[in-house]
Amino acid sequence: MCINTANFTINSAYGENRKEILSSLASNVEAFGGFYTGHIGEGSERVYALGLCRRDLHDEDCFSCVNSSSQAIIEKCPYQKEATNFGPPSLCIVRYSDKNFSRITDSSPAQLIYNLSKITNNTDEFDQALNSLVDSLIDTADNGPPRSMFATGAKKFSEYDSIYALMECIRGQTPDDCSMVCPLSLNLLMPHRHPLYPLILLLHPQQQT
């Protein structure tokens, strides 16, 4: 997802800084347990970068996802000063920008993925089960260990069918930040809740100083 608000020129210091920080991002993410954010350069040439793997991803899979996503983002966004790559859906996120990552409280950037099949029966039961499940996941993610901020769960909505859900906040966020952005993310998901296997990928980074 290339952001076309600003570009840099070929052979510029910004381009070199972007290449350098993204080339080491996978190693840093792996070394810091699946999450890393940092910056390189000074002034208008400074590049901020972030890498996040799903909490239950194995180290080698995390490294591979961030590494391939970092390479792809350079190829697909050759001159943009800001971009996000959600990687293989739900596995990792890579982002860079010329702006300091703030404590975002909106729902951007985001990627929504869903199956074309739809739930047509027990929709009321599905909605009740979904609301109950996501409330419990928000509470678990909010109150979990600071380096986790991760929760999974399942809830039946008919005799044979269950909803499975996963929720993760950026590690290092406060519980208040996590509890604020999760409902915003769900607001994007809810209009599409009856297609099977809905998935929403959002990035809400902690401020980097």
What digits encode the pLDDT tens for the residues 51-110? 989 888 899 999 999 999 999 999 999 999 999 998 777 789 899 999 887 555 445 666
The pLDDT of residue 41 is 95
Residue 166 pLDDT level (bands cut at 50, 70, 90): confident
* Helices vs. strands in the chain: H and E counts, helices first: 5, 9
Q: Please, where are the H alpha helices in the chain?
A: 13-23, 25-31, 59-76, 123-143, 175-189
Residue 150 pLDDT level (bands cut at 50, 70, 90): confident
pTM of the shown model: 0.76
Residue 194 pLDDT level (bands cut at 50, 70, 90): low
Q: Could you tell me how far CA 195 lies from the centroid of its own chain?
A: 21
Upstream peptide bond of 205 is cis (omega within 30 degrees of 0): no
Which of 44-53, 83-92, 106-115, 196-205 is most confident? 44-53
**Which H helix or E strand runs over 113?**
strand 110-113
